[in-house]
Chains A and B, each alone.
Chain A
Amino acid sequence: GAGVSQSPSNKVTEKGKDVELRCDPISGHTALYWYRQSLGQGLEFLIYFQGNSAPDKSGLPSDRFSAERTGGSVSTLTIQRTQQEDSAVYLCASSLGQGRINYGYTFGSGTRLTVV
Chain B
Amino acid sequence: GDSVTQMEGPVTLSEEAFLTINCTYTATGYPSLFWYVQYPGEGLQLLLKATKADDKGSNKGFEATYRKETTSFHLEKGSVQVSDSAVYFCALSDPGGSYIPTFGRGTSLIVHP
Contacts and interface: CB of A to CB of B under 8 A. Distances in A.
Interface of A: 4, 6, 31, 33, 35, 41-43, 45, 48, 56, 91, 93, 97-98, 101-102, 104-110
A33 B91 CA distance: 14
Nearest to A104: B46
B34 interface: yes
Given A98-B99, A101-B95, A106 B104 contact: no
A42 B100 contact: no
A51 B51 CA distance: 25
Contacts of A41: 105
A106 B46 contact: yes
The 9 tightest CB contacts between A and B, nearest first, are A42-B105, A107-B43, A101-B93, A107-B44, A109-B43, A43-B103, A104-B46, A102-B51, A42-B106
B89 A42 contact: yes
Contacts of A35: 103
Nearest to A110: B43
Contacts of B100: 33, 45, 48, 56
Nearest to A99: B95
A33 B45 contact: no
Given A101-B93, A109-B43, A31 B99 contact: yes
Nearest to B50: A102
Nearest to B102: A45
Interface in B28-82: 32, 34, 36, 42-46, 49, 51
Interface string B82-104: 00000001000101001111011
A4 B43 CA distance: 10
